[in-house]
Amino acid sequence: MAAVIVLLGLLGLAIGSFLNVVIWRVPRGESVVHPPSHCPSCDQPIAARDNIPVLSWLVLRGKCRACASPISIRYPLVELATGALYVAFGLRFGIHADLPAYLYLAAVGIALAMIDIDVLRLPDVLTLPSYPVALALLAIPAVVDSRGEDYLRCVLAMLALVAFYGLVWFIHPAGMGRGDVKLSGVVGIYLGWLGWGQVAVGAFSAFLVGGIVSVVIILAAGGGRKTKVPFGPFMLVGALIGIFAGHPIAHAYTHAIGH
């Protein structure tokens, strides 16, 4: 198992390197496969030796080899975050048929969160394909492990969260984007696969964390109530809370109100 976790970490680092390309190019409508990676300042192609996750950034001291332009620390942080999530999901699910679905969530989630932070938008090109991908990947354990009830619940949770977020958007469109509504169903799929308690905790955590962080950002930036703060990252953080801690939190809550 230890060897699998190490391999997942290395795979996550490699995927994180590709996600940096996705995060930069998708909002600009550029291809993620052509041309090869290049410095955005001098347009010089990045050599293979300078494209090793994290290590190359450290060796280059955060600067382009050709023009010495600074390379944002966000690049290795995205790679490390992806690697860490791959390891965390590996520990959470083990070597089971539902693991690939959650590895996909880690990758697309990081890409969507960073793009939303950058441009206040959740691109349909990433969000919408996540529906068939997630449902297809979870259909495998539903069949292999005879978890048809879990699969039905994830579909129902998808519909429930889309309906809920759609209602919030309809009532207060200034506080909820259509991209958030589209993402909500994807979150519902992954939380619903695990249980209704995880759905409730994940959905509530998104608003709780989002509210706290938004207030801090607005106060720190000296902005007002109209300061725009992307909600997509909070939805994904809420999903992680639901996945990793949803069951004990929901159990503690129901135990508390039952006494």
- Is the backbone peptide bond immediately before 230 cis, with ω within 30 degrees of 0? no
pLDDT of the residue at 228: 79
Q: Cα separation of 206 and 187, whole Å?
A: 11
Q: Cα separation of 259 and 257, whole Å?
A: 5
Q: If you search the block for the tokens 């990252």, which residue do you land on? A: 233
Identify which of 178, 142, 139 has the alpha carbon closest to the alpha carbon of residue 162: 178
Identify which of 129, 110, 137 has the alpha carbon closest to the alpha carbon of residue 19: 110
Task: Read off the amino acid at residue 43.
Answer: D
Q: Cα separation of 193 and 135, whole Å?
A: 10
**40-46 long-range contacts, CB within 8 A, separation 24+:** 41/67, 41/69, 42/66, 42/67, 42/69
pLDDT of the residue at 107: 98
pLDDT of the residue at 255: 75
pLDDT of the residue at 218: 78
DSSP state of 230: -
Q: If you search the block for the tokens 């691109």, which residue do you land on? A: 123
| pTM higher than the cut 0.85 | yes
pLDDT of the residue at 98: 96
Identify which of 81, 92, 78 has the alpha carbon closest to the alpha carbon of residue 243: 92
**pLDDT < 50 positions in the chain:** none
User: Which residues, in sequence order, are bridge partners of residue 45?
Assistant: 38
